[in-house]
Structure 1
Amino acid sequence: MSPKIVTVQGAVGNQGNSVALSLLASKTSEFKVRAITRSPDSERAKALEALGAEVVRANSKVKEELVAAFTGSWAAFVNTNTDDPEIGVPGAPTELDIGKIAVDAAAEAGVKVFVYSGMESVEKMTGGKMSSKNFEEKYGVAEYAKTKGFESVINLSPGMYMENFLVSELAPVFGGFPVAPDEEGILNYVHPRWGGNEEQPMIGIEADYGDLVHGILLNPAKYNNRLVQAISESRSAEDTAKDFQEVTGKKARYVVLENVDDFPTFGMRALETVREIYQFCQIDGGLYYGVPNDVDTAAELKAAAAKAQGKEGEDAKLMTMKKFFKAHFPS
């Protein structure tokens, strides 16, 4: 039997690259990876090609190019980039517009399985008390896909990126954590209360996100029409600070920012969305997905992907904050 073609839109981005690498690591020869990018000459694209991926140039804003790229594919993974400066501004298409272009192109090309990196609706989760443009548009793309005749549509919704701790420019937003200690030598992890049991859904994009997509593609019918929580670990900010201190030996603590409106955004769209997350989670009891965090499904998907890759032991388990900090912030 010929391998099934899985086309990854945005294959040189963090999520798409994780998906492509996970599928390319399979020992079963069940899938063939087609990587869509606007930059086929980039280092990441060339690295994927060296591992066996077919690299195709296509622009996410041009439906005809996407139809050609998706043609012959059994499945598609799509992630629209909220932070793309060319979308969501006056005179430009919205993220919902871009998502619908991908959905329509995949449907026209005959794709059977559509996996989208989406979100739940904040309006729905808060009973109409607030909204979030980012969340509503990503939710809208996933819901639109359900109307286009795919055999399976899965909304794989990522939690808060562990990798954000590696972005030094973000440290001042969170009180300097995890790189800039205060005058007492303590690293203060500063942000608003989350709400509920205070446990945030954390995802290791590089380590786990691609494996979760891989696991879904091994049995897509099981997850059809579902929002699947892409979570590596459910962890409170207080425990995250403790994890960092335990792993690195550096003093760290969680400091509550009492007024969510004081969370600094510096006028950046991405940080404004983060502030909205704190706001709606405080309203709906800390439920980022509108329901309790579900690590069990993610663990099930990770194990399925690991089996296909011939991995076992710790390599078959989800990332934790302790493992992440140990890998990136050695003592």
Structure 2
Amino acid sequence: MSTTTPETKTVLVIGATGKQGRAFIRSLLFPSANSTPSSPTTTTYPKSENWHILAVTRDASAPPARALLEEAKSHNAASKVTLVEASLNTPSTLRAVFESHPNIYSVFVVLAYPGLGAPVTSQREKEQGTMIADLAVEFGVKLFVYSSTIPIGPDANDGIDESRKQKREVEHYIEDLGKKNPNWKWIVIRPGFFYENLEGVFGAIGTTMYRDGLKRDTTIAMVASEDLGRVVAGLLQNPEPYINKFLCVTSGPVTMREVLNAHVRATGKPMPAVPGFVGWILLKINKGAKDLVKEAEINHANRISGKLPTFEEEVERAKSVCELQTYEQWKRALVSGEAGGDGELARRGSTDGKRMSTSSWNNLSLMKLLAGRS
């Protein structure tokens, strides 16, 4: 009796060592590391393919890259992850990756966030995103998945953060490129604010800024990074219902008060925060922090006024891929020690091997933050 070997599909992951990239790789190659008994069940699909990850990194010897390989090794998946060196600021190096691996099935793109309030002197993020999309078309990639952000408003120029604006421009470019190349398939995911961003020292600062800076009824769309990974893995396993569509990946908009109450229910303790006067000072002197809160208000107003008419549809579309944890579900798993993936890193208070107190939240620097510079 003959048997057939499942087809191997290669996925190029740009941003492989970041929060989203790691969560996706875990969900695709060793999903048990990105799930917990307490979390909702992910939709499962027949295992008809063998997956291989090409993880793009600027330096294959850097600790985050080595940590990715070690994690794969611990799940007996080391042969399924290959580190490839390339710099998005040097397009020829990424082109060389495509040339060396001519049968890439899918590309998942997460571009590095320049930092909260960081001055943007060029269109670098737009240039990188459009360059990657062009290469994907040129080399016959079957499925292109781009991680953007939930829009502040209906227009590309809505919002304040330059990175957010450039992501919208990349979205439009992908749509236009798809129209010119009908056989090219794309999906854009729009992640919400990650629960993990409310952990550690910077999370305490963010909690205070949102708690005191937002109106009581203002809602923020949030999600667990591990759930984002499950969504993208699900899209690759069953892409057809989502081709050429947008997905807002969030368990649903919630007020900061609802998050604070959920934290108490999950842990029995108040959510860590810095003294109120610290948040007040930051919102007075730090433009990046002020703009973050202002954008949350604008987004909330546009959602409830109907100026983002496809938001709910895009949320439900993401939830049809897999169930998404509420903050309370995620936090309960974290407290019980069941959380996997980035949830486990948050529980231990570290990220990429660094303590949260010395790490960053949206590339923040504590000293610069307190000095009025992000």
TM-score, scaled to structure 1? 0.75
Q: 1:54 aligns with which of 58, 73, 82?
A: 82
* Equivalence for 2:176: 147
Q: CA RMSD, aligned part only?
A: 3.5
SS in 1 for 2:104: coil
Q: How many Å separate the matches in 2 of 1:9 and 1:270?
A: 28
Q: Which has the higher helix share?
A: 2
Q: How many Å separate the matches in 2 of 1:240 and 1:190?
A: 13
Q: 1:36 aligns with which of 56, 64, 83?
A: 56
AA matched with 1:145: I
Q: 2:297 aligns with which of 275, 278, 287?
A: 278
Q: CA deviation at 1:268?
A: 6.1
Q: How many Å separate the matches in 2 of 1:288 and 1:11?
A: 34
AA matched with 2:144: F
Task: Give the count of matched residue pairs.
Answer: 295
Whether contact under 8 Å (1:58, 1:65) holds in the other structure is yes
Is 1:211 aligned with 2:217?
Answer: no
Q: How many Å separate the matches in 2 of 1:29 and 1:296?
A: 27
Q: CA deviation at 1:296?
A: 3.7
**CA deviation string 1:225-263 (max 9, x = no partner):** 211011134433222111111122224699xx9xxx997
Q: 2:142 aligns with which of 89, 96, 112?
A: 112
**CA deviation string 1:269-289 (max 9, x = no partner):** 476345323233234427795
Whether contact under 8 Å (2:152, 2:298) holds in the other structure is no
In structure 1, the gaps of 5 or more residues are 178-188, 303-316
TM-score, scaled to structure 2? 0.68
Is 1:228 aligned with 2:247?
Answer: yes
Q: How many Å separate the matches in 1 of 2:153 and 2:259?
A: 29
Is the alpha carbon distance of 1:144 and 1:295 closer, same or farther for their aligned partners in structure 2, counting shifts above 3 Å?
closer
**CA deviation string 1:121-157 (max 9, x = no partner):** 545269x876653332111112212333262111100
Is the alpha carbon distance of 1:266 and 1:97 closer, same or farther for their aligned partners in structure 2, counting shifts above 3 Å?
farther
AA matched with 1:162: Y
Q: How many Å separate the matches in 1 of 2:119 and 2:272?
A: 37
Is 1:169 aligned with 2:202?
Answer: yes
Whether contact under 8 Å (1:67, 1:106) holds in the other structure is no
Q: How many Å separate the matches in 2 of 1:194 and 1:19?
A: 34
Whether contact under 8 Å (1:199, 1:237) holds in the other structure is yes
Q: How many Å separate the matches in 2 of 1:117 and 1:262?
A: 33
Q: How many Å separate the matches in 2 of 1:194 and 1:152?
A: 41
SS in 2 for 1:319: coil
Q: 2:317 aligns with which of 273, 297, 303?
A: 297
**CA deviation string 1:185-228 (max 9, x = no partner):** xxxx4341386xx44321101x2111111111123232122110
Whether contact under 8 Å (2:151, 2:299) holds in the other structure is no
Is 1:201 aligned with 2:235?
Answer: no
**CA deviation string 1:266-322 (max 9, x = no partner):** 5464763453232332344277955444554333312xxxxxxxxxxxxxx432211
Q: 2:9 aligns with which of 4, 7, 32?
A: 4
Whether contact under 8 Å (1:88, 1:94) holds in the other structure is no
* Equivalence for 1:98: 128
Q: How many Å separate the matches in 2 of 1:284 and 1:299?
A: 18
SS in 1 for 2:266: helix
Q: Percent identity?
A: 23
In structure 2, the gaps of 5 or more residues are 1-5, 32-46, 338-374
Q: CA deviation at 1:120?
A: 5.2
Is 1:82 aligned with 2:92?
Answer: no
AA matched with 1:55: L
Whether contact under 8 Å (2:220, 2:300) holds in the other structure is no
